[in-house]
Structure 1
Amino acid sequence: MPQLEVDGATLTYDDEGPRDGEGVPLVFVHGWTANRHRWDHQVAHFAEARRVVRLDLRGHGESSGAGARTIDDLARDVLALLDHLGIERFAIIGHSMGGMIAQTITLAHPERVERMVLVNSIGRMAYSRGRALLMAASTLAPFKLFVAANIQRAFAPGYPREEIREYVRASADTPREVVMTLYGAMRAFDVLDRVGDIHTPTLMVHGYHDIQLPLAQMLRMAKAYPDAVIRVLDAGHELPVEKPAELTAALDRFLAEGGRS
């Protein structure tokens, strides 16, 4: 289990697959309160033929450290890891908050990103006045209740309750400071007016039943991308685990279009 010290944090990561495999390395970035194992299905598939990197973001999973106040801070951690591994050019796949990190990296370093995939992610969080009041009020709830409510509603109706409870327990293990600070970071994140500058081939995959980051918000963002490919799957916000095979197949098709590098 390799680790890297970065700016007061210890990042735990996996670096798998052949170094001389097909195409550029793939970099998987998980979302808020999650960990690198959200990508188990996808990593198991792609690491057979190409180099795959994933990490636990600071304060998440098996990584320690707080201090990240913005999405930019997390993006710097990801880039520090890739620099440490000697990876100059890559394809990045981000889920939810991880997609915000992916967009931040791609806007700052377009020459390094061959392809980008946004899974249940958006460029700006927008709420109606009523929902904004509800979200603000939810932060006043006891911490574990706040986490449980946000994780439970992330899954589409019918997803096994016991599996949801496991994800709730794992998310509640994330330190309160990390959870609440990065919740604020996501709400402050806004690159919607800049995504038209992204000319990196991009795939957007979204769950039809996503109420965390609704499909309508992704479609609004997609209009600003010059050549985005859009896939909508019958799932909620947690596509990597709700529909792992379907997501992996969508990634496989899109990444294969990049050919060998």
Structure 2
Amino acid sequence: MPQLEVDGAALTYDDEGPRDAAGVPLVFIHGWTADRHRWDHQMAHFSQGRRVIRLDLRGHGDSTGAGVRRIAELAEDVLALLDHLEAERFVLIGHSMGGMIAQTIALAHPDRVAGMVLVGSIGRMTYSRGRGLLMAASTLVPFKLFVAANMKRAFAPGYPREEVRAHIRAAAGTPREVVMTLYGAMRAFDVLDRVGAIRTPTLMVHGYHDIQLPVRQMLRMARAYPNAIVRILDAGHELPVEKPAELTEVLDWFLTAKL
């Protein structure tokens, strides 16, 4: 497991596939309380023919480091890794919070982003009154219950309970300070009024049953994008693990047809 020291964190990453392959590298960015293994299916598929990079964000998975208060700071970590790996241009593929990071990079460095895929992600955190009250109350309960309450909502009805429990256990292994500071960073994230400046081809893949970041919020964002393509899958918020093969198929189509 190679690591890169970046601003007090040791970022664990994978860099696989042929470097001389046609096309720019694919960069996979996971979401809040997850890790780089969310992308195992996609890594196995795409690394057969092109360069693929993924990382554990600071404080997640096998990476160290404290939480940060702005999504832009996580974007700086990703860019530091890509600079270290001499990846000048790339396709960004981000799930949930990872999609927020991807949008931040695309806005700051449009010349470097050849394409972007937002999986279960949005440009502005918006809560209904009811959900806002629920989320505020959940921060007052013990940490493991807070994580469990959020993870249970992330899967579509009928997803195997044992697998949900396994993801809850893994998420609860993320340090409390990292989880809570990034929770605040996501709540403060808002680029919706700026995404019209993102001209790179963009695919938005969302789960029909996503109640964490509902489809209607993604569709509101899609209207602001000049070059957005939308695909809805029969899943909840955790698309990379709920529907890995279907997600890979959609990504394959986008990379072949639009880039």
For structure 1, which segment, 236-245 or 63-72, has the greater mean C-alpha deviation from structure 2 after superposition? 63-72
* 2:171 equivalent to 1:152: no
Equivalents in 2 of 1:67, 1:249: separation in Å? 34
Counterpart residue type for residue 157 of structure 2: P
Q: CA deviation at 1:25?
A: 0.3
Counterpart residue type for residue 52 of structure 2: V
Equivalents in 2 of 1:106, 1:12: separation in Å? 23
For structure 1, which segment, 65-74 or 205-214, has the greater mean C-alpha deviation from structure 2 after superposition? 65-74
The TM-score normalised by the length of structure 2 is 0.99
1:34-183 matches, cutoff 5 A: 34-183=34-183
* 2:17 equivalent to 1:7: no
For the Cα contact (< 8 Å) 1:23–1:258, is it kept in 2?
no
For the Cα contact (< 8 Å) 2:11–2:55, is it kept in 1?
yes
What residue number does 1:205 align with?
A: 205
For structure 1, which segment, 121-130 or 229-238, has the greater mean C-alpha deviation from structure 2 after superposition? 121-130
* 2:17 equivalent to 1:17: yes
1:4-46 deviation per Cα after TM superposition (whole angstroms, max 9, x unaligned): 0000000000000000113100000000000000000001000
Counterpart residue type for residue 72 of structure 1: A
Quote the sequence identity (%). Answer: 80
For the Cα contact (< 8 Å) 2:29–2:94, is it kept in 1?
yes
Equivalents in 2 of 1:79, 1:257: separation in Å? 27
1:113-147 deviation per Cα after TM superposition (whole angstroms, max 9, x unaligned): 00000000000011122221211111111000000
Q: CA deviation at 1:258?
A: 4.7
Equivalents in 2 of 1:27, 1:128: separation in Å? 32
Q: Secondary structure at the match of 1:159?
A: coil
Q: CA deviation at 1:86?
A: 0.4
Counterpart residue type for residue 73 of structure 2: D
Equivalents in 2 of 1:75, 1:170: separation in Å? 23
Equivalents in 1 of 2:6, 2:67: separation in Å? 11
1:220-235 matches, cutoff 5 A: 220-235=220-235
For the Cα contact (< 8 Å) 2:67–2:179, is it kept in 1?
no
Q: CA deviation at 1:173?
A: 0.3
What residue number does 1:185 align with?
A: 185
Q: Secondary structure at the match of 2:200?
A: coil
Equivalents in 1 of 2:152, 2:20: separation in Å? 41
Equivalents in 1 of 2:82, 2:65: separation in Å? 19
Q: Secondary structure at the match of 1:223?
A: helix
Q: Secondary structure at the match of 1:122?
A: coil
Equivalents in 2 of 1:249, 1:158: separation in Å? 23
For the Cα contact (< 8 Å) 1:100–1:121, is it kept in 2?
yes
Q: Secondary structure at the match of 1:178?
A: helix
1:159-202 deviation per Cα after TM superposition (whole angstroms, max 9, x unaligned): 11111111100000000000000001001000000011110100
Counterpart residue type for residue 152 of structure 2: Q
Counterpart residue type for residue 156 of structure 2: A
Q: Secondary structure at the match of 1:131?
A: helix
For structure 1, which segment, 93-102 or 159-168, has the greater mean C-alpha deviation from structure 2 after superposition? 159-168
Q: Secondary structure at the match of 2:14?
A: strand
Q: Secondary structure at the match of 1:50?
A: coil
Equivalents in 2 of 1:33, 1:147: separation in Å? 9
Q: Secondary structure at the match of 2:100?
A: helix
For structure 1, which segment, 67-76 or 204-213, has the greater mean C-alpha deviation from structure 2 after superposition? 67-76
Instruction: State the number of aligned residues.
Output: 259
The TM-score normalised by the length of structure 1 is 0.98
Equivalents in 2 of 1:60, 1:34: separation in Å? 7
* 2:16 equivalent to 1:31: no
Runs of 4+ in 1 over 6 A off after TM superposition: none
Counterpart residue type for residue 4 of structure 2: L
